[in-house]
Copies of this chain bind each other. A is one copy, B any other.
Amino acid sequence: MKHFIRENFFPIKNDVNIDYLINLLGEDILSSSVLNNFKVIDISSLSNTRDKSILFLEKEINIEKIKSKDIHVISSSKENLNHYKSISIVKNLDKAYNIITNHLFFHDDYQNMPDEYQYLNGSYISKFSKIDKSCNIGKNCFISRGVEIGKNCIIKNNVVIKNSIIGNSVIISDGSCVGTTGFGFDFNKRGSIHLNPQLGIVIIEDNVHIGSLCTVDRGKIDITLIGKNSMIDNMVHIAHNVIIGKNSCIAAQTGISGSVTIGDNVTIGGQVGFAGHITIGENVIIAAKSGVTKNIKDNSVVAGFPAIDMKEWKKNIIRQKKHGH
User: A residues touching B (Cβ–Cβ < 8 Å)?
Assistant: 108-113, 117, 119, 122, 124, 134, 136, 138-142, 152, 154, 156-158, 160, 162, 169-171, 173-175, 177, 180-181, 183, 185, 187, 190-193, 195, 206-209, 211-213, 215, 217, 228-231, 233-235, 237, 239, 247-249, 251-253, 255, 257, 270-271, 273, 275, 288-289, 291, 305-306, 308, 312, 315-317, 319-321, 323-324
Contacts and interface: CB of A to CB of B under 8 A. Distances in A.
A171 B109 contact: yes
B215 A212 contact: yes
A319 B323 contact: yes
Contact of A158 (B140, B237, B249): B140
Contact of A183 (B108, B252, B255): B252
Contacts of A119: 122
A228 to B, nearest CB: 7
How many chain copies does the complex carry? 3
Contact of A230 (B190, B195, B217, B306): B190
Contacts of A108: 154, 156
Given A185-B231, A212-B215, A139 B124 contact: yes
Nearest to A271: B273
A173 B192 CA distance: 11
